[in-house]
Amino acid sequence: MSQETATAEGGFWSDSGKTGIGSWIFSTDHKRIGLMYLYCVLSFFMVGVLLGVLIRLELIAPGPTIVTAQTYNALFTVHGVVMIFLFIIPGIPASFGNLVLPIQLGARDVAFPRVNLFSWWLYVIGAVIVLVSLFTGGGAPDTGWTFYVPFSARTTTNVSLAVFGVFILGFSSILTGINFVTTIHRMRAPGMNWTRIPLFTWSLYATAWVQILATPIIAITLLLVVTERILGLGLFDPSRGGDPIMFQHMFWIYSHPAVYIMILPGMGVISDIIPVFSRKPIFGYKMIAFSSLAIAAAGSAVWGHHMYTSGMSDLGVMVFSFLTFLVAIPSAIKVFNWVSTMYKGSISLEAPMLFALSFILLFSIGGLSGLILGAASTDIHVHDTHFVVGHFHYVMFGGTGFAFFAAAHYWLPKYFGRRYEEKPAIIGWVLMFIGFNVLYFTMQVLGMEGMPRRYYDYLPEFARLNLVATVGSWIMVAGILIVLWNLWRGLLKGEPFTGNPWGGATLEWSIPTPPPTENFEEDPVVTHGPYDFKGAGVP
Amino acid sequence: MTNESAEHILSYGKLVTVWVTLLVLTAATIMVTRVELGVWKVWAALAIASIKSGLVIAFFMHMKYEPRLFRIILFVALFTLAGFIGGTFFDVLYR
């Protein structure tokens, strides 16, 4: 397929002839929708970062420092809600999934373009409702992002509106999932059989199933909390015969699989980047593809490991602890296959690869600390401590967050037709990596020493490590700002990005840059695998 | 493929039979609550509910006449839901 000279205005940016905001917010082009998601999730990411920095500032020293205890409770709640529901769940699937998935399959768009636009609108409406909830009613929710009853049923803060916003966001997620599953089943180009689907798209397939099957559970659970608050049904309130542990079951039946909604697309990004920057076909393609499905399936059966200290039955604790260890198998399959792909490869350490490599290390640290939490006997000692917070950020930010930035450096130049500068990208990455570990590894040590999570104040012996963690947050944020500034400046004003400079063999690298509105001038016929560089004619 | 299923129209007799069966099962659900069955009461209620939803899905939603892929996809969803409900029983029944 022909390679055209890139211009910032070329391809889908201008070939439809439509301009103005209407050409974006009413567009059914998957690339425009993907970019709109990207702008939204990045905006919310920065809000979440700001809230996180404020949390760390409050904890820089014992006792009150910059906010009151009530404000602190709202800070960590809103940080969690924004980061989980507005950034990390839609982060990779909705933005990069929309940008890349149809092209990787050889399709002109997703199966249901209008539903795709509708799901973006639902995301925006849900986000607005969540934001409105912060400043209306009884003020920002103070329950933690988990909305645990009975506190969430009793607090006077604006929990009802916030959970209703999350309810709407859930529908956005379900519709995206349905769209992706249907697209993958029905819209593949001739020759794109199941073993030629790029691993990023495979990961989105597994993710989409979790979105479809698990999200309705959180939707109904959150509605039940609203009815509990408004009608006083007594579903979860033990003083009225309810069962608060049942809320935890229902919440985690979604929210643990949701962790895989967050991490699986990140793993897909890494699976696409590692072979390209190692100049080697992926090692164990089928195992990586099926391990995504295995993670989705096994990950849906382990929600109880969040509840070991909740008062759940001993049998439940043992069963869920055993099942949790099963998830380690497909996760380890991926890590071993990525490392094996790099073995004896011609590794090129450019920005996407650096982010991908740090993903493997940080995700592995997070995964291994997860074993301590998955084993009931050790979890009881560190439950609800900063160890959990550190672990969670290692997998979610060290994993998905770094994968998000890897994807941004890998794919965005393709869509903008311009590229960022390499040196600031690497400086930003170094600062992010150092700051990240200073912040979150310290948190894990603090948790081991017994510092509880979500506490406004702490004992003097935790002061030094809290100071270290807060300094780490400043280093990390400096790195994030450099990375985002470099991306922003480069994609708008940088050097032209033409052809296939990374040397990718997947279909998105075979079409003009930026891609035209309908992606392909003529329907492609796929004759080689996604990592068959020789077959794709890539040097 | 969707056209094939759209063309399949069920007879009124069959629809009424399913409807009456659903009513009978609803009555059975109520009757079960009045019998002292202990923990089996929950299983009985779930079993009846499963049969009822199976009838609705198979006949009213035409799944009996849809292509195999759709039935597999539906089965995956039902299996997952059953897994979610079943998993909570490791706690609820042994607490």
The ipTM is 0.84
Contact assignment for A301 to B87 by CB distance below 8 Å: yes
Q: Find out whether A93 and A180 touch, Cβ atoms under 8 Å.
A: yes
What local confidence, expressed as pLDDT, does residue B8 receive? 66
What local confidence, expressed as pLDDT, does residue A3 receive? 42
Q: Answer yes or no: is A110 within a domain.
A: yes
Burial of A432 per CB tally in 10 Å (0-12, 13-18, 19+):
buried
Q: Find out whether A351 and A427 touch, Cβ atoms under 8 Å.
A: no
Q: Find out whether A403 and A270 touch, Cβ atoms under 8 Å.
A: yes
What local confidence, expressed as pLDDT, does residue A9 receive? 66
Across A79-83, A229-233, A318-322, A394-398, least confident range: A229-233
Q: Answer yes or no: is A148 within a domain.
A: yes
The percent of residues in chain A predicted with pLDDT above 90, rounded, is 91
- Please write the tens of the pLDDT for every residue from A40-72: 999 999 999 999 999 999 999 999 999 999 999
Average per-residue pLDDT for chain A? 94
How far off is chain A from B52, nearest CA to CA, in Å? 21
For B95, nearest residue in chain A (alpha carbons): A313
What local confidence, expressed as pLDDT, does residue A131 receive? 93
- Please write the tens of the pLDDT for every residue from A138-170: 899 999 999 999 899 989 999 999 999 999 999
Report yes or no: A335 at the B interface, CB cutoff 8 Å.
no
pLDDT over 60 at A8, yes or no: no
What local confidence, expressed as pLDDT, does residue A177 receive? 97
- Please write the tens of the pLDDT for every residue from A446-483: 999 999 999 999 999 999 999 999 999 999 999 999 99
* Residue range A221-248: mean pLDDT, rounded: 91
Q: Which residue has the higher pLDDT, A238 or A114?
A: A114
Q: Answer yes or no: is B35 within a domain.
A: yes
Q: Answer yes or no: is A525 within a domain.
A: no
The percent of residues in chain A predicted with pLDDT above 70, rounded, is 98
Chain A residues near residue B83 by CB distance under 8 angstroms: 300-301
**A324/A392 Cα distance (integer angstroms):** 15
Question: What's the CATH code of the domain at A24?
Answer: 1.20.210.10
Q: Which residue has the higher pLDDT, B73 or A105?
A: A105
- Please write the tens of the pLDDT for every residue from A351-371: 999 999 999 999 999 999 999
Q: Which residue has the higher pLDDT, A42 or B82?
A: A42
Q: Answer yes or no: is B76 within a domain.
A: no
Chain B residues near residue A320 by CB distance under 8 angstroms: 87, 90
pLDDT over 80 at A26, yes or no: yes
Q: Answer yes or no: is B52 within a domain.
A: yes
Q: Answer yes or no: is B93 within a domain.
A: no
For B76, nearest residue in chain A (alpha carbons): A213
Count of A-B CB contacts under 8 Å:
50
Report yes or no: A341 at the B interface, CB cutoff 8 Å.
no
Residues 6+ apart with CB under 8 A from A176: A90, A93, A94, A97, A98, A116, A119, A208, A211
What local confidence, expressed as pLDDT, does residue A5 receive? 41
Contact assignment for B90 to A213 by CB distance below 8 Å: no
Predicted TM-score (pTM) of this structure: 0.92
* Residue range A395-412: mean pLDDT, rounded: 97
What local confidence, expressed as pLDDT, does residue A219 receive? 93
pLDDT over 50 at B4, yes or no: no
Q: How many domains does chain B have?
A: 1
Largest Cα–Cα separation, chain A: 70
Q: Transcribe A356-368 into DSSP letters.
A: HHHHHHHHHHHHH
- Of the candidates A259, A296, A327, the one whose C-alpha atom is nearest the C-alpha of residue A83 is A259
What local confidence, expressed as pLDDT, does residue B6 receive? 53
What local confidence, expressed as pLDDT, does residue A272 receive? 97
What local confidence, expressed as pLDDT, does residue A539 receive? 73
Q: Answer yes or no: is B62 within a domain.
A: yes
- Please write the tens of the pLDDT for every residue from A99-143: 999 999 999 999 999 999 999 999 999 999 999 999 998 899 999
For B75, nearest residue in chain A (alpha carbons): A213
Q: Identify which of A212, A217, A304 has the shortest CB distance to residue B91.
A: A304
The tokens describing A479, both together, are 């790195």
Residue to mutate among A184, A185, A253, A326, with most B CBs inside 10 A, is: A253
Q: How many domains does chain A have?
A: 1
Q: Answer yes or no: is B51 within a domain.
A: yes
State the residue range of the domain holding B55: 2-67
**Could you say which residues from 310 to 329 on chain A have a Cβ atom under 8 Å away from some Cβ of chain B?**
311-316, 319-320
3-class DSSP state of A345: coil
State the residue range of the domain holding A151: 11-510
What are the φ/ψ torsions at residue A511 (nearest 5 degrees)?
-110, 165
Q: Which residue has the higher pLDDT, B32 or A403?
A: A403
Average per-residue pLDDT for chain B? 87
Q: A529: part of which helix (H) or strand (E)?
A: none
pLDDT over 50 at B5, yes or no: no
